[in-house]
Amino acid sequence: MARIRASDVVFTGAAALTVAPGAAIAPARWSATAARLSRMDRLCGLALVACDAALIDAALAATAPEWNGERTAIVFGTAYGCYATNEDYYRGVARDGALGASPRLFAYTLPSSPVGEISIHYGVRGPTTVLANGLVSGVDALAEGVAIVAEGRADRALVCAADVATPLLSSILGGAPLVDAAAAIVVERTADASSRGATPRGRLVGAAAAFAADGARGAALRDAIARALADADVAEPALRKKLDGSDVPGALGAAPLVALARWLAAGEHDALALVSAGDDGGAGSAAVVVAS
C-alpha cells in the first residue's frame, strides 16, 4: 500500500446499516425514490442506500457545483459479492430450466454490480475498484479509497462495503447467524473539504495488509496490525478503540467498516482507533484512524 499522508485526506461522511435477512431496506434518508430499489438486487440496494446516507452526512450532493463525476472514485469491498443473487438465479434455472433464467437477476450476477448502480446514480466517471478479498475486503477498500485520493487520481472517493446473507451461506459457514450489512465513508482531499466548509469526521494515518501462505489467519492479522501501527507511528497503548467488527456479528466483509462508520458518526474527537480484519485464508488487513 502507498504511504498515506494524513494531512491530504479526510473522511467527511459516514453511514452504516444492518438489516435482518429478507427484511425490507428502509432508506429513511435516501434522496431518491424508494421505487428505484425494486429493480436492483439486494446487494446493490444496500450499497446505494449506504452511499447516499454517507453523502447526506457529508452535506455533499451530486448536483452541487463542487461535485465532479470525472474526479470521483468508487471503491467497493465485499466478502461474498453477488452470492445471494447467484443463488436466486440458479434456483430458477434448476427449477424451470432455461425459462427460469431471470434476465433481471442475470444482470446482477457480478460482484461489481453495486459499482455500476452507484456510478449511474451519481454520474461517477472516475476510478472504480472492486475488492473481493474475503473478510478483509472492507478494510482494504478503505485504504484503497484513501490512496486513490492521496495520490491525486481523484478528488473524492465513495468507499463502500456490503454483504448479503442467505440460509445456505450461513450453513456453509458453520451455521452462524448472518445479517445483511453495508457501510459507506466519503473520502475527500482536505483542501476540497475545507473550501466547502465540511466538518471532517476523521482521517487515516496508517494502513497495511499481510498474507500468510500457510493460511495462518492469526499470524497475518498480527503482522498487518504491527505494520499499520508502524506506518502510523503509533504505539498500541495509544489506541482508544479496536474495531474488528466483533460488535457487528454476522456482517461478513462489511463488519469492520460498519463498526468504523458508527464510531466516526459518534464523533469521538482526537481519538485513535484500529480497524482490522482477518480471513481464514491467511489474509490480514489493518488501518489506524483518528477521529477529528
pLDDT in tens, 40-67: 899 999 999 999 999 999 999 888 888 9
Same domain? 157 vs 59: yes
Same domain? 175 vs 234: no
Cell for 3?
504511504
pLDDT at 64: 86
Q: Give the torsion sign (CA, 273, 72, 14, 119).
A: negative
**pTM flag (> 0.85):** yes
Same domain? 212 vs 162: no
Is 1 within the bounds of a domain?
A: no
Among the three residues 142, 166, 195, which one is the final residue of a domain in this structure?
A: 195
Is 32 within the bounds of a domain?
A: yes
Is 36 within the bounds of a domain?
A: yes
Same domain? 224 vs 243: yes
Among the three residues 195, 217, 247, which one is the final residue of a domain in this structure?
A: 195
Same domain? 183 vs 266: no
Same domain? 172 vs 64: yes
Nearest of 161, 279, 173 to residue 218 by alpha carbon? 279
Is 66 within the bounds of a domain?
A: yes
Range of the domain at 21: 6-195
**Inter-axis angle of helices 42-57 and 83-96, nearest 10:** 160
Same domain? 206 vs 191: no
Same domain? 119 vs 252: no
Is 139 within the bounds of a domain?
A: yes
d(CA 147, CA 207): 10
Q: What is the CATH number of the domain that holds 267?
A: 3.40.47.10
Among the three residues 173, 195, 217, which one is the final residue of a domain in this structure?
A: 195
Same domain? 84 vs 14: yes
Is 29 within the bounds of a domain?
A: yes
Is 76 within the bounds of a domain?
A: yes
pLDDT at 33: 58
Is 141 within the bounds of a domain?
A: yes
Same domain? 71 vs 174: yes
> What are the pLDDT tens digits along the chain (292 aa)?
445 565 689 999 999 999 998 888 876 565 555 556 677 899 999 999 999 999 999 999 888 888 999 999 999 999 999 998 889 888 899 999 998 888 888 888 899 999 999 999 899 999 999 999 999 999 999 999 999 999 999 999 999 999 999 999 999 999 989 999 999 999 999 999 999 999 999 999 999 999 987 767 788 999 999 999 999 999 988 999 999 999 999 999 999 999 999 999 988 888 999 999 998 888 999 999 998 7
Same domain? 219 vs 270: yes
Same domain? 105 vs 227: no
Distances (CA, A) of 167 to 5, 38, 112, 132, 180: 43, 22, 23, 21, 12
Overall number of domains in the chain: 2
DSSP string for residues in 181-195: EEEEEEEEEHHHHHH
